[in-house]
Structure 1
């Protein structure tokens, strides 16, 4: 299992996955908003979402876990 983390500080604008969802390589799983810019976070490999750590509207710092995944 691996935790995918925030690349920068910001607010969770949109959470695009739920626990149990499957992600494909190059698929966005969350969009952060920082300084009025939308920053998508993308999976680099196929995986299954085991746990979500954030909700829409939450503030996160760089390095905070967003989701936990299991590689397929």
Structure 2
């Protein structure tokens, strides 16, 4: 099975994690919310899979391109 590394598309801070490891997600499901420039930006699953691990925690700062979560397709 393939691993999918989901990256932050914008720099910001992790506002809320919406799914936990082991949960199944569909393509385009919101995985987490980033706060950037006083806006909430959803990070979505590029395709269906299962959440393997988070690489960030709520409140943590992320840079554009950082891997934030790993899915198994």
Structure 1 segments (4+ residues) deviating >4 Å: none
CA deviation string 1:21-60 (max 9, x = no partner) = 1111121001000110110011131100111111110000
TM-score, reference length from structure 1: 0.93
In the alignment, structure 1 segments of 5+ residues that lack a partner are none
Q: Pairwise mapping of residues 1-72 of structure 1 onto structure 2 (< 5 A)?
A: 1-71=3-73
C-alpha separation between the residues in 2 aligned to 1:5 and 1:38? 16
In the alignment, structure 2 segments of 5+ residues that lack a partner are none
TM-score, reference length from structure 2: 0.92
C-alpha separation between the residues in 2 aligned to 1:66 and 1:23? 15
